Amino acid sequence: MSRIVILGAGYAGLMTAVITAARTKRREDVRITLVNATERFTERLRLHQTASGQQVADLRVPELLAGTGVEVVCGWVTGIDAAARTVRIDDERVLEYDTLVYALGGVADTTSVPGVDDHAYTLNSSDDAELLARRLTGMGTGTVAVCGSGLTGVEAAAEIAEQHPELEVLLLGRQEPGAAMGPKAKAYMHASLERLGVQVRSGVEIGKVLPDTVELVGGESVAADVVLWTSGVRVSPLAAAAGLDVDEHGRIITDATLRSVSHPEVYAVGDAALIRQAYGFMHGTCQSGMPTGVHAAVSIARELQGKQPKPFRFGYYHVPVSLGRHDAVVQFTKPDTSPRALSLTGRRAVWYKETVTSSPWPTYRRLKKSPGFGSIWPRGGRFTR
């Protein structure tokens, strides 16, 4: 019996489970177990909508995997024994594995700046987003400081400003919003934020978060009734504690096939993996996370057939950013994320962004029915059988 254990049911982990099950469904000697903290699937691409008070679909992991034969185990992973090839769950269950897929992902880094853990909201989970939504709904008036001017911060600030026009929304960050975009897309983003009433302050570094204040490095204080933290990402320390080779951020160092360089029976996918491509290291997004899950599944199936896994190759294709429910901007990119001349704005961008955001669910349904579908990934990345 070949025991495959997948840790984490985010976009990458769920994709791994679906395709591995599809490619091994005729084999009675394969058992696939997916471990996740809860049954609820965190649709990270819509957390900014949830935070602003909108209702989104309540997706459940067991339902998404219905009919695949994958066993779903709900619980927090508390430890990995890489030598014994076991995983411990918080209820003291111990799962044995022959192949482990590490897909625990990342969360907002709330540890690097004093006060963030105690006084700031995050978008790490649906529960976190709903907690913020309840706070915003009960405010009446006041100031919301969104700390972090990356794409998560931009989407959150725009959504909150649109849904809560009575609130003052301030976007704080080191970089200019849309800094990696082309001139047209960046200018459109700034105009949209201005139209929504979002005040942008870039080139600032946050030194401390207090109950009603954000202190900037240099001494300035910014009054804020609510602080949303979207700056930086950190991963679970479990991989490092298990003795796997990790980088300074705790991400598992992988070889060309996405296997751990120190423990080849462990695949790492999504945000928790340090993956090198010809243009440099990949950064964590749904766009790149799902293809890593596809590749890990295809590689596991190859190994079960006595074949060697092939190298992973991926190139970025676009940066779609929602600016509330009625506006968006899409920057098309080269494989290394540098901007192309082409971009979409307004209604066309809204349609495109919504199509991308909704795409995982029809994709999962097709994959459950067609095990070969995962051998080719449309336009964003390339895979080999």
Would you tell me the crossing angle of helices 286-304 and 360-369 to the nearest 10 degrees?
10
CA distance 333 to 108: 25
Residue 22 lies in a domain: yes
Report how many domains make up the chain.
1
- pLDDT tens, 305-363? 999 999 999 999 999 999 999 999 999 999 999 999 999 999 999 999 998 887 666 66
Question: pTM for this structure?
Answer: 0.92
Residue 62 lies in a domain: no
Query: Are the CB atoms for 134 and 52 separated by under 8 Å?
Result: no
CA distance 206 to 301: 47
Mean pLDDT of the chain: 92
Residue range 70-81: mean pLDDT, rounded = 97
Q: What is the pLDDT of residue 288?
A: 87
Q: What is the pLDDT of residue 385?
A: 28
Q: What is the pLDDT of residue 383?
A: 35
How far, in Å, are 29, 42, 84 from residue 48 at the CA level? 42, 12, 41
- pLDDT tens, 266-300? 999 999 999 999 999 998 788 889 999 999 999 99
Q: Which domain holds residue 8?
A: 2-37+75-105+236-314+360-382
Query: Are the CB atoms for 357 and 46 separated by under 8 Å?
Result: yes
CA distance 257 to 296: 8
pLDDT over 50 (residue 382): no
Scored b (16 or more CB within 10 A) or e, 261-275 reads eebeebbbbbbbbbb
Q: What is the pLDDT of residue 138?
A: 87
Instruction: Residue 97: give its domain's CATH number.
Output: 3.50.50.60
Share of the chain above pLDDT 90, in %: 87
Q: What is the pLDDT of residue 377?
A: 43
- pLDDT tens, 179-229? 999 999 999 999 999 999 999 999 999 999 999 999 999 999 999 999 999
Q: Which residue has the higher pLDDT, 193 or 105?
A: 193
165 backbone dihedrals φ, ψ, rounded to 5° = -65, -15
- pLDDT tens, 18-52? 999 999 998 999 999 999 999 999 999 999 999 99
pLDDT over 80 (residue 380): no
Residue 143 lies in a domain: no
pLDDT over 70 (residue 375): no
Residues 6+ apart with CB under 8 A from 6: 13, 16, 17, 20, 32, 33, 34, 35, 100, 101, 103
Residue 154 lies in a domain: no
Pairing between β-strand 226-229 and β-strand 142-147 as defined by DSSP bridges: parallel
Residue range 110-127: mean pLDDT, rounded = 95
Query: Are the CB atoms for 176 and 202 separated by under 8 Å?
Result: yes
Neighbour-count burial of 341, counting CB atoms closer than 10 A to its CB (0-12 exposed, 13-18 middle, 19+ buried) = exposed
